[in-house]
Structure 1
Amino acid sequence: MKLYYTVIFLWFSYCALSQTPRIALVKPDGTTTIYSTIQAAYDASADDDYIYLPGGVVDGLSINKKIHIIGAGFNQDSSQVTRSTKISSFLIYPSAAGGSIEGIHFWNNCVFTGVGTIDGFEIRKCKFDGTLNFESTTINIVAKHNQFSTINGALTNSFFYNNVHIGTFSIGGYCEFKNSLFFNHNFSNNYNLPQNSIYKNNIFNSVNSTTCHFSYFYNNVNMLASGQQNEIYENISEQFNLIFENPGAGPPYIYDVHNDYQVKSTSACKNSGTDGTDRGIYGGTYPWVEGSIPSNPHIYFKQVAEETNANGQLQIHFKVRTN
């Protein structure tokens, strides 16, 4: 449920805020401290703390604490006021297990690394231009509402819900993929899907055959899986332009955040998921959040008066929503 707030700031308050560093470290008891750099906030953090990042370019970080880092989002359309949060890369170590990242645009690689197994981490509403790389043995990753390119490395026993995949995989398998979109902008005939995995209610951008072994395919769209000992049930084929409200120009179809990937009422994908909701990212237990807005309060509208009032005050009008 979205909550809407209207906030009126006086001019002197606005000036003070505009000069204040905007990286917030929030303790479990609500105690909040503002820092000028992500490194300073991280150095002062402890397990279970939250770090909130502003829009704009933020330095990379090595993470070896169980903390939660939340940015301003990656979708340009919904981050016009705050700007999106952009980071080159994160290095995530085993002692960060149990933490999470959300609302960040990574233009380089994000790497899970270090000695030992990384057991448990959540990735939400992030965009990865580069590779998500698992150098360390990693299990129990939960990924929701992300845009991924290539995913490589020693990842197993993990869960991918309502994501957009535009690259290929080279991971260990034993994963679950539900209600996601697969684009494969390489336009090859093989998505190189992880083996020993479960695929349900996903939509692929074209009827391609992929080699995948020992996996369970149920209720997918435009997927022809070849390989050993696969179980395939209730899969259908349907043209992209007949599935979505606005998939963009094609074929070939390219993923674009400006397109509308909600399923048409006339599509065979409508209300035909295994749970009675739509196939694709707007169905399932975790339907896609419009605009990929992160869970922290998000400014989506700003209006500044053209002049001060009789008291020398300038009114600034913000609208904020949360998901």
Structure 2
Amino acid sequence: MYLAQHIRSIQLFKYSLAISFVLIGFFTSLATVITVDNNENSGALYSSIQVAIDDATVGDTIIVAGSETTYDGFTLNKKLVLIGAGYQSTEDAQFGFTTKVNHMVIKNENPALDLNASGSHIEGFYVNGVVTTAGGNYRYISVGFEGTESNTLTNVTFTRNRCESVHLSYFSNIKIYNNILDNIGYAPNYNSVYGDYPFGSNLLVANNIFTGGVARVKGSQIFINNLFIGSDQVYDVFFSGVGITNQASGIVFSNNILWGRATGGASNVALTHNLVLTSEGGETFDYGTNSTGNNLENVNPKFVDVPEFALDFSYDYRLAEDSPCKGTGSDGTEMGIFGGPYPFPSAGDVPNVIVTESRIPKITDFNIRSAAVPEGSSIEIDLKARVSNNQ
């Protein structure tokens, strides 16, 4: 028992040390680092994410270890940095496990009482459950970005996570990039990103992989350089006609690749520099009241190795050199997840085409030179670390 606890404590120390490297790169001054681990005898400060959030001070960083056991869902209502180990188990993962959580809600409840998650950063989680919100039967969400009519949620970054669905309301300046947004829990092939009315402004959804679609979005939002993967025309990318509605003035949908996902459901949307391919063909972006241009319709994007309309980590979603998507994005880069503002992190060939870890450097070698030193003396430690595409 003691040995297991000792080993786990050393692992957590290494994890904390690694996150310190990240903090130096992220911030001008170091914040308090709080550790969470729900494994028995972990040596972490907390076993519950929610309790750690409740006890944290604005500006702190919470690191959540990977685990075989899913963490309970939580509400984030103060400005914090939350970083997990990643959303897909690999041999190179820091502990070999993902950081799974049932659901998360990021809120601005009352800034006068410091109950405001604006300015937060969330990275490295696998949100594999849902929470049912009050109201209509479609509101089953994995991740909620929620402000109020008088308290807008602002400046939140959500990156390198995997979840079923994202719900947004009363927000401004939200960045959602380098995630996998798919249908893990309730309602397979359900929408992945949807907004409630009134919605918000300045949403950037960039360089994500979707296996769902987009619904009930309006306002000044940008969807750029995403890959929408469908089970071949089962659902429109804009969720069966109720997605991007006739209130959607200002929405930009560019440089996206629709791989087996139909184009329908949008109105008053700028649809430019996109590609669509399904097995049945006949898809077009030029319909209704949308503005269109420079789209590639019913054209093979020529991935390196993607044999079917599906998400699989053994597939290579990079574009071949002769791909028609190369250099044809609106910014002169390629369409899809490896072009544009936030190219999807990649570490080479399969199975590392898609990096699924957070940006915590992995400590590959760790050696304490002496097992015993006099009290008050320094301990000499040798270590080597590797960054997981620290983009």
Instruction: Bin the TM-score by the shorter chain.
Output: 0.7 to 0.9
Change (3 A) 1:276 1:18: closer
Give the TM-score, by structure 1 length: 0.80
Shift of 1:42: 1.6
Report if the CA contact (8 A) 2:181-2:211 is conserved.
yes
1:78 deviates by 6.5
Q: CA deviation at 1:79?
A: 5.2
SS in structure 2 of the partner of residue 152 of structure 1: strand
Specify the alignment match of 2:175 in structure 1: 142
Describe the superposition over 1:262-298 as per-residue Cα deviations: whole angstroms up to 9, x where unpaired: 1100111112222222111001121110213322223
Q: Distance in 1 between matches of 2:365 and 2:299?
A: 40
Q: Residue 46 in 1 paired to residue 81 in 2?
A: no
Give the one of 108, 124, 137 matched to 2:159: 124
Q: How do 1:9-158 and structure 2 match up within 5 A?
A: 14=7, 16-18=9-11, 28-34=29-35, 35-37=45-47, 38-56=49-67, 57-77=70-90, 80-82=93-95, 83-94=97-108, 95-108=116-129, 109-113=142-146, 115-116=148-149, 117-128=152-163, 130-134=164-168, 136-149=169-182, 150-154=192-196, 155-157=199-201, 158=203
Runs of 4+ in 1 over 6 A off after TM superposition: 19-27, 315-318
Q: How far is the alpha carbon of 1:102 from its aligned partner?
A: 0.7
Q: Say if 1:19 and 1:277 are closer, same or farther in 2 by CA, change over 3 A.
A: closer
CA distance in 2, matches of 1:298, 1:19: 12
Q: Which runs of 5+ in 1 are unaligned?
A: 1-10, 305-310
User: How many residues are aligned here?
Assistant: 299
Q: 1:84 is aligned with what amino acid?
A: T
Does the alignment pair 1:221 with 2:242? no
Structure 2's unaligned 5+ residue stretches are 36-44, 109-115, 130-141, 183-191, 277-282, 347-354, 373-380
Q: With CA pairs under 8 Å and 6+ residues apart, which has the higher RCO, 1 or 2?
A: 1
Q: 1 CA distance for matches of 2:213 and 2:8?
A: 47
Residues 213 and 226, structure 1, Cα contact 8 Å, conserved in 2:
no
Partner Cα separation in structure 2 for residue 263 and residue 31 of structure 1: 42
Query: Secondary structure at 1:39's aligned position in 2?
Result: helix
